[in-house]
A and B are shown apart, each in its own frame.
Chain A
Amino acid sequence: MIQYLQNNYEVVLTALQQHVWLALLPVLLGFAIALPVGYLAVRFTWLYHPLVNVCGVLYSIPSLALFVFLPVLLGTKVLSPINIVVALTIYTVALLARTVADGLRSVDPLITQAATAMGYRRFGRLINVELPVALPVILAGLRVATVANISLVSVGALIGVGGLGQLFTRGFQLFYLEPILVGIILSVLLAGIADLVIVLIQRAVTPWARFQRGGAA
């Protein structure tokens, strides 16, 4: 495997780079979209159940089908990474919108009432009170979405754009283990690192959670 890496580090590096972009850009986009969508589902309660159902259906569309169809729908080129980015953004929104809504719904009404009594308007209360309190739930969802995206990108290799997935198809065509192993290991490492980064962010932005946990134990 070391020898494979020595001979192919450029290919592997390019694949890794592409993988990082293709997986993480949708996480950011999806998060940015899921926050308002999730909020709307809490603000207008009748939206919650339709949202959950739509998200469920979106998430059950096979990724390969979505990768193939987006060029037709968006008019993008068949090999364009946009297709992968949009597809994974859809999955991210499907996972996160519901989590955001659940997180916001889980905020104790007493807290919201207290915040209102302290003079918070709706938006200020959302940003300064409800979101921070819901953050652990939302970030837990973000972790799942990030890890899922990193593993899903590789399916794109079946249509010629797939980051580390290209190492899978390449190795598979030659019945050659090394590239497949390298791809899997890098993909898992990448997911681990991304997950760790989110955990660290979560610790940094929710210091009270750590404090509480310490207090409870």
Chain B
Amino acid sequence: MNFSYLFDPEHWELGVPGGFPQLILSHLGYSALGLLLGVIIALPVGLYIGHTGRGSFLAINAGNAGRSLPTLGLLMLMVTLLGLGLLPVLIALTVLVVPPILTSTYAGMRAVDHGVVDAAKGMGMRPLQVLFRVEFPMALPVIMGGFRSAALQVIATATVAASVGLGGLGRLLIDGLAVNDYSRVLAGAVVVAVLAVALDLILALVQRWVVSPGLSGRRVRRATAAT
């Protein structure tokens, strides 16, 4: 194990092409865009299916099928079809993150206590109010769980972008491999793993912050203060 590449300060200078800051930034960029697109697609669909109960078969099976699509193959297919650029990578990463977000949204919505929904209806809430003020907040912990696992996957997988000539931390893996520089491959692996863990921690904090204290069982006084 040779950590010389990782700890070489030259590789950590800002603004150097191929340096860690620049690679991390592009890596996070691909991941964030993929996650964003995934949320835009999967969240409404999951909420709709979970709320209405219609098309649950579709939600579960589309989720499974999506998970079985090999990202590398999909990426190479997209590059062959669409040419080089960011778009093929984004499509592949979006397909990767849709299944966990979709299934967790659906599962979170289905797990909401029917009694609570009935009570909300009884209070005169309209369907959309029930959805956004009762069901969604109650499903949020499960949804966040799915989002966190999607984030973990997308960070680890965004490395494939380098295999079709783009940047990101995968460059360290692909280039290190091509020139037989294991120290560089190791550096890439370590930075990706650290990035994934850090992101997961941040998301855990976000989850604490967005999930209603009434649900997480923490002190209720904060809840009154927050509203």
Contacts and interface: CB of A to CB of B under 8 A. Distances in A.
Do A and B interact directly, with beta carbons closer than 8 Å?
yes
A69 B76 contact: no
A1 interface: no
A151 B68 contact: yes
B84 to A, nearest CB: 11
A192 B65 contact: yes
A146 B64 CA distance: 11
Nearest to A144: B67
Interface in A172-190: 172, 175-177, 180-181, 183-184, 187-188
B104 interface: no
A147 B73 CA distance: 15
A147 B196 contact: no
Interface stretch (A54-62, A113-121, A201-209): A54-62
B77 A62 contact: no
A187 B182 contact: no
A168 B76 contact: yes
Interface in A123-172: 143-144, 147-148, 150-155, 157-159, 164-165, 167-169, 171-172
B193 A60 contact: yes
Contacts of B71: 151
Contacts of B73: 154, 164-165, 167-168, 180, 183-184, 187
A25 interface: no
A181 B176 CA distance: 29
A56 B152 contact: yes
Contacts of B40: none
Interface stretch (B49-57, B118-126, B154-162): B154-162
Given A59-B156, A60-B197, A172 B67 contact: no
A148 B99 CA distance: 12
B70 A183 contact: yes
B163 interface: yes
A15 to B, nearest CB: 12
A57 B193 contact: yes
Contacts of B186: 65, 69
Interface in B160-208: 160, 163, 169-170, 173-174, 176-177, 182, 185-186, 188-189, 192-193, 196-197, 200
B68 A147 contact: yes
5 contacts: A63-B156, A143-B64, A148-B67, A158-B177, A169-B76
Interface of B: 1, 64-65, 67-74, 76-77, 79-81, 152, 155-157, 159-160, 163, 169-170, 173-174, 176-177, 182, 185-186, 188-189, 192-193, 196-197, 200
Given A62-B156, A192-B65, 15 more contacts: A56-B152, A59-B156, A62-B169, A64-B159, A65-B159, A65-B188, A69-B182, A69-B189, A143-B64, A147-B68, A157-B72, A165-B72, A184-B74, A187-B70, A195-B64
